[in-house]
């Protein structure tokens, strides 16, 4: 019974991976959203200084 109580906790490493992954997804998604075409109502909004401008390279 004691072994079950010890192993029932979710490992800290898995929790950290999920938290770091979620934060990375939010940051990458925010950069992509701010560099995409704005949805209706957001056309005149300016890009925050924190978000880098991503330019499309010339395609052959």
pLDDT band, very low/low/confident/very high, at 2 (cuts 50, 70, 90): low
> Which parts of the chain fold into alpha helices (H)?
2-7, 12-35
pLDDT over threshold 50, residue 60: no
Please give the DSSP secondary-structure letter assigned to residue 43: T
Q: 10-55: per-residue pLDDT in tens?
A: 788 888 999 999 999 999 998 888 777 776 777 777 777 777 777 7
How much is the pLDDT for 10?
72
56 — phi, psi (to 5°)? -80, 130
How is the chain split into domains, by residue range?
A: 12-60
How much is the pLDDT for 59?
47
């Amino acid at each position: 019974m004691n072994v079950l109580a010890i192993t029932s906790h979710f490992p800290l490493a898995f929790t950290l991976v999920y938290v770091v992954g979620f934060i990375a997804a939010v940051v990458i998604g925010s950069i992509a959203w701010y560099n995409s075409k704005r949805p209706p109502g957001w056309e005149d909004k300016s890009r925050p200084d924190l978000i880098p401008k991503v330019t499309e390279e010339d395609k052959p």
